[in-house]
Structure 1
């Protein structure tokens, strides 16, 4: 089973993350229309639209939408939706919402603040697999396609993937999507995969890499990569799911418990969360005033630091000038030394020889020159 990562930060309990794809056209217009409608009906406090922040994002047509609303008990929620074109068509979106308090799954889904809660609008596609977030996704008939699809689902770090095995082909009562029974805050984060009765073996073969298995007639929640801390396969495996119209209470409890685990943040989720916190533009008057006060305080601190640095530099320069003046004064009052001698310096070898001669031991004969004379005393000038 994939182990949990200790290097990545985990999703804060105040944050609601989701990622998907809009496979139709006019995604931006759909979002604008939804935001305006909800603001006019006072569901939203306000919203704001801006282009991508980097030049490459602006060139690629990235759009950012910000919205703010009140959850129950007057808890303020801020959310940011990033739209960018997808290579396979349509547009991919990342949505992060952060509340002033820990997120409650019973609160309204942030997705419905940007997208219409209409099954006919195709914004609800999982980014990793392309499957629906609000419906039932039947596994393909081809074994290799099943393995490829579940591998993509198992590696997804964003949405929650649930695999349900149908012990027998259900009737219309068993074709109710799991999302319809989940709390509002989880309906747009769960992808439900349905395996036909004859597909149990191939499904479990495909899931071996993740260390999980689907019980016959049961369900399992995939851990994702990396798995969240505290994930144990047995805790998120449901032995029996009755597809007869009754509420699958055990499966709903397992999905809710899994969603509460501290899941690791993927790099793109970290970037989106940083943008939500640091690049937020939709400010109230009070927030704008507080931001300006912080800027003024920051500039004042920087100015004070520059002033102190300037004073220290000036003091050091004055001390250096005083030391240089004192040095020049002392150098000018010092007595002049003797004029330099013009006598050529003696040979170092001759000086060493004479020193050794003075240290010669008693009784040792004096050193003879090459002509046989005593080299200790200079030759007589009588011959001159």
Structure 2
């Protein structure tokens, strides 16, 4: 019997998501310095630097959810808000996490970045990554979750077939980014060694990982991609790899180009395919859904208008709670008075007529006092 599975949520067209590793000694310092500089230059409107415990306990604009908390291993939570074309507001949240291993090849601090705009995301907008991380090659914030792979550089396939297969397989399982593979028909000169992804629009540049196969790896690259991913790569050509869960609308031949000239010129045809692939509805990994939930339900950097809306919502919430408490008190008082009346009636019907003082005309006595007097009738003489 087939098990029922919940379909994965596709990436919203308003969202930018990324996850990678920082291998430097002080990642939070790098983020903090970059945010301060960009705020001073009025590139961003404002930012927050929060302790994870503080971020989890603070009151938010939206209803809280457990998945909105940073989670175990969180080090810092950074939030930033800026505006792009046509005054569109972008809200972004970056969380840094302790490394799972301190080995040199698997260490580094993991970071998760989620950004959302008020309308559909445009590739020409600034990259959210460079709003938090300095756009400098000296800061190693762009390492993929798979060791040996970086976002802003060319990643040559290992010479060993098994290692090449392992790398592509792990990238497909762990990566949130788009991956492409380019085969070098001949060893390129310095201009051709520049990553093809450097020609992409700013907001897409840090969402694409470029793999390269050396001239003598034509057969190896074709064999590995066919065996692991079900696609081939022509000699001297390039392909957008079908990483992760199947993407609706993906066709291997459609996203393959027969030739890429690595002479420093812009490979327009291949870049257009990358942009097209990035717009396809891709399913989100569970961790990406959690990051988006944290952004939406765990947001702290409020504008004055949002703070006013939040204050009004809190007043309304407290008013409803007070009304519910008042109603409960009224119901409790009515129940107490009914119990006293029933007790008095039972006592009077038991033959002790006149023993229970009449409550008529004594409305000024509290229900608690009347109840105490009624109980005293059953205690008997004290002596």
TM-score, length-scaled by structure 1: 0.77
Moved more, 296-305 or 310-319: 310-319
Which of 276, 287, 295 is the equivalent residue of 1:268?
287
1:129/1:153 contact within 8 Å kept = no
2:168/2:228 contact within 8 Å kept = no
Write the distance in 2 (CA, Å) between the matches of 1:203 and 1:325.
Answer: 94
Write the distance in 2 (CA, Å) between the matches of 1:206 and 1:58.
Answer: 37
Partner residue in 2 for 1:145: 163
Cα offsets for 1:241-296 (capped at 9, x unmatched): 22233321121111111111222222221221111111111112221111111122
1:198 aligns with 2:211: no
Write the distance in 1 (CA, Å) between the matches of 2:329 and 2:252.
Answer: 63
1:160 aligns with 2:173: no
Moved more, 138-147 or 165-174: 165-174
Q: CA RMSD in A?
A: 2.8
Q: How does 1:1-384 map to 2 (within 5 A)?
A: 7-53=7-53, 60=73, 62-86=75-99, 87=101, 88-207=106-225, 208-308=227-327, 311=330
User: Aligned-pair distance for 1:324?
Assistant: 8.5
Cα offsets for 1:305-331 (capped at 9, x unmatched): 444455566667767887888899999
Unaligned runs of 5+ in 1: 333-384
Write the distance in 1 (CA, Å) between the matches of 2:41 and 2:129.
Answer: 17
User: Aligned-pair distance for 1:6?
Assistant: 6.0
1:51/1:58 contact within 8 Å kept = no
Sort the Cα spacing of 1:287 and 1:237 in 2 relative to 1 into closer, same or farther, 3 A: same
Sort the Cα spacing of 1:163 and 1:307 in 2 relative to 1 into closer, same or farther, 3 A: same
Sort the Cα spacing of 1:329 and 1:50 in 2 relative to 1 into closer, same or farther, 3 A: same
Sort the Cα spacing of 1:214 and 1:156 in 2 relative to 1 into closer, same or farther, 3 A: farther
1:21/1:130 contact within 8 Å kept = no
Bigger CA radius of gyration: 1
Cα offsets for 1:67-124 (capped at 9, x unmatched): 1111121111111111122223321111111111111110011111111111222111
1:217/1:241 contact within 8 Å kept = yes
Pairs aligned (count):
329
Write the distance in 2 (CA, Å) between the matches of 1:318 and 1:234.
Answer: 82
SS at match of 1:151: helix
Write the distance in 2 (CA, Å) between the matches of 1:28 and 1:85.
Answer: 11
Sort the Cα spacing of 1:107 and 1:205 in 2 relative to 1 into closer, same or farther, 3 A: same
Moved more, 62-71 or 301-310: 301-310
1:79/1:97 contact within 8 Å kept = yes
1:135/1:178 contact within 8 Å kept = no
Write the distance in 2 (CA, Å) between the matches of 1:77 and 1:89.
Answer: 31
User: Aligned-pair distance for 1:137?
Assistant: 1.0
Write the distance in 2 (CA, Å) between the matches of 1:106 and 1:20.
Answer: 22
TM-score, length-scaled by structure 2: 0.77
User: Aligned-pair distance for 1:157?
Assistant: 4.2
